[in-house]
Amino acid sequence: MVNGIFTAICLFAFIGIVIWAYSSRQKTRFEEAARLPLMDDTDVLEKIREKGL
């Protein structure tokens, strides 16, 4: 019984994460993060400071 409940919770968490990751609101954020390794170090630092990270 407990194993079934735990499995269901994990399944719903996984589905939620997948929906979040593929949502259109996250697309620009993920595209920007994908370009970070290709940028110069000074550009990366500027982006980090802009975002307040």
Sign of CA dihedral 9, 11, 13, 16: negative
Q: Tell me the whole-structure pTM to 2 decimals.
A: 0.57
Distance CA 31, CA 35 (A): 7
Query: 11-38 burial by CB neighbour count: b if 16+ within 10 A, else e?
Result: eeeeeeeeeeeeeeeeeeeeeeeeeeee
- pLDDT per residue as tens digits for the range 16-44: 999 998 888 888 888 888 887 887 777 77
Whole-number pLDDT of residue 53: 60
Q: So what's the pLDDT on residue 11? A: 98
Domain residue ranges of the chain, discontinuous segments joined by + = 24-53
Output 13 or 29, whichever has higher pLDDT.
Answer: 13
pLDDT at 14: 98
